[in-house]
Amino acid sequence: MVDTSWNIETDTSGTITIPGATGDTFPSFSVGDDITIAFLVDEMAEGEIDILREFVRYANDSTSNTGLDIRGRPWYHESIHPQSSYSSQLVHLVPGDVLSDIDDWWCVITSGTFSTNSIGVNRQVELELFVVARGAEYSDRALVENEFEAGL
């Protein structure tokens, strides 16, 4: 198992730095795909873990819809839960220094799981993400929202 770091740039909570993603769940990224990444969270500050818990708690099928249009272009729609502390499930997923050969991506968090297993096993957050666009093609959040957010 290879551990790698990631930064998750959110709209309201800034950047969350996650020191490790488990290598056996490392996905291949492609626009329009649903992917899953399991992150190790034991070395994170509790405040950052709380932000991830918010996404795990409130991101689900009733708060986001994603898909591809007839041309194969991705789209997403959000109905953010009123109790959540974030205003968008769209995040910018940026690889850490160890993963400098991997592109950054704009993704929508569609669901998640927080796991606290038996003693001696790291806590993990598993996020399910819908890949909207390559980070290199869209320099900021507003461009991504204008291009891919569907006003259903």
Strand partners, 83: none
**For the chain, which residues make up each domain, given as ranges?**
3-147
18 within 8 A of 6, measured Cβ to Cβ: yes
The predicted pLDDT at position 98 comes to: 66
Name the residue with tokens 């007839």: 70
HSE-CB of 96 using CA atoms within 13 angstroms: 14
Q: How far is CA 87 from CA 43, 51, 97, 103, in A?
A: 26, 12, 28, 25
Quote the pLDDT of residue 1. Answer: 44
- 110-127, pLDDT tens digit by residue? 999 988 766 666 788 899
- pLDDT tens column, 43-56: 888 888 899 999 99
Q: What is the pLDDT of residues 128-140, one digit of tens each?
A: 999 999 999 999 9
Residue ranges of the chain with pLDDT lower than 50?
1, 3
